[in-house]
Amino acid sequence: MASSLTKDSASTPGVEKTFLGHPRGLANLFMTEMWERYSYYGMRALLVLYLSAAVADGGLGFDAGTAIAIYSVYNAMVYLLALPGGWFGDRVWGARKTVAVSGTIIMIGHFLLALPTVVSFFIGLAFIAAGSGLLKANISTMVGHLYRDKNDPRRDGGFTIFYMGINLGAFVAPLTIGWVGQKVNWHYGFAMAGVGMAIGLAFYFLGFRNLAPESSHVPAPLSDADRAGVIRKALIWLAVAGVAYTLVGLSGQFTIDWVLWPLTVLGLVLPAYYIIRIKRDPDLTAVERSRVSAYVWFFVAAAAFWGIYDQTGSTLTLFAKDNTASSMLGFAFPESWFQSLNPLYVMALAPVFAWLWVALSRRSKEPSTLSKFAFGLVMIGASFFVMMLAQTASASGVKVTPLWLCAVYLIQTVGELTLSPVGLSLTTKLAPAKYASQMMGVWFLAVTAGSSVIALLQLVGAPTDTEWWFASQGAIAMLGGFAIFMYRRKVQPLMGGVH
């Protein structure tokens, strides 16, 4: 694929070899990310279904609440670990080596899931979360390294191509891995995800010569003293955790809750601690501190958004299994296929939204950043009100038409395309100079916080198969969106001139 799309200009001295007019390394990073996302979303499409499937059907037999909590904690840890992932790239290995190591960890994790034991499954899940966090923070940085000139006009287009690779992998994964996992064997599906990551690594290693030399450099390497300090602290915390869990295990009291509760609390406490630490930094100017105060509003709203949005792989998947007909126009399909809808909608609608904003801007009618953010939050809330109606329609035990979920995913995608890009933009604009790079990790922590809230609700026993579950979250999201819109003139001054 890469070679057929690559223009080889080797015969012309001094002319760069390109991939669709971009640096050739983009082809390798595109394929690496596409296959990594293929493995990630393929496994995610099966995760809750496998956790909640009866042991007699090859699953692990967890109740729905525990399965959703495990999924939510896993999702939270992926995004929480993006922060140390970026730190490893900046301080220890450099982006290129970090991606190579993380991809290998992810591949091993998927193959561990393919083994038919409970212990290997959860170790594999930890491997995938750690590897995904390491990779997520560094591979996008490597795309930026391909463009030596910060003002290279191809840069935005390069990231657009890269983004399409993400959605292409996410679209194909449930259709293939989901089908094999549900219709043939769960563990064959997980193994397919491992093969996908292996293919991605092959493209990555074969394209080393096409990557920017900057990707091999460690921007701010640790001193020997700092390295020793980090290792010492890590060993101390590992020893504390090891002793604590050994004692719990020897007492015979160990259950999955001993893992879920600490990680859930961590997913809520660490984002709050990190934002407070930034806000209280004495090096910040008054304007920067005010901008961080404004960012807190957006962070909380984004956590509500992602908490709902990421239930596509948990509560919505279980609704698809238990309450939705898995056939349409005479064609039967597994429930995991619903998770291909969002990337399909993104690929179809992203160019439309890009054109729309440009067209409105030319007419001086483009909505403000705050208005876009508010609209995205209202849309994600509206999607759960539709789910409330779908839950009501299925209350009598009759399975509802798949069009309900098709509509929900469409509404959520519209919300994503208005809120997610705006959130990224706001993060870069409101970030203090000292934390310019780290604030992108803070944006990921909104996903961690949102997923941790959902995990907490499951751990305390909140039912997900009721109209209340969907209506309450939908109302919170919509009220948040309306509040941002109504109070935008009060929030705007806190943003220190950012629009």
DSSP 432-475: -GGGTTHHHHHHHHHHHHHHHHHHHHHHTT--SSSHHHHHHHHH
What spatial distance separates the first Cα and last Cα of the chain, rounded to whole Å?
41
- In angstroms, the Cα distances linking 321 to 173, 336, 338, 402, 497 are 18, 9, 10, 11, 49
| Strands 18-19 and 22-23, bridge-based pairing | antiparallel
402: left (phi over 0), alpha (psi -120 to 50) or beta: alpha
496: left (phi over 0), alpha (psi -120 to 50) or beta: left
- For residue range 339-351, what is the model confidence (pLDDT) as tens digits? 999 999 999 998 8
Arithmetic mean of pLDDT, 379-392: 96
- In angstroms, the Cα distances linking 158 to 145, 168, 206 are 11, 15, 20
Backbone angles phi, psi at 180, to 5 degrees: -65, -45
- In angstroms, the Cα distances linking 400 to 312, 333, 390, 404, 450 are 17, 15, 7, 7, 28
Residues 6+ apart with CB under 8 A from 479: 381
- For residue range 173-195, what is the model confidence (pLDDT) as tens digits? 999 999 999 999 999 999 999 99
Partnered with residue 497 across adjacent β-strands are: none
Q: What confidence tier does 14 reach under pLDDT thresholds 50, 70, 90?
A: very low
- Give the integer Cα–Cα distance in Å for 39 and 190: 8
Q: What is the pLDDT of residue 61?
A: 94
User: Does the pLDDT of residue 272 top 50, yes or no?
Assistant: yes
- Cα–Cα nearest to 112, from 52, 53, 190: 190
Instruction: Tell me the two tokens of residue 442.
Output: 């803070």
Backbone angles phi, psi at 333, to 5 degrees: -150, 155
User: Does the pLDDT of residue 125 top 80, yes or no?
Assistant: yes
Whole-model pTM?
Answer: 0.90
- Give the integer Cα–Cα distance in Å for 355 and 148: 28
The percentage of the chain sitting over the pLDDT mark of 70, rounded to a whole number, equals 93
With contact defined as beta carbons under 8 Å apart, do 391 and 467 qualify?
yes
- Cα–Cα nearest to 262, from 277, 240, 278: 240
- For residue range 15-58, what is the model confidence (pLDDT) as tens digits? 567 766 788 888 899 999 999 999 999 999 999 999 999 999 99
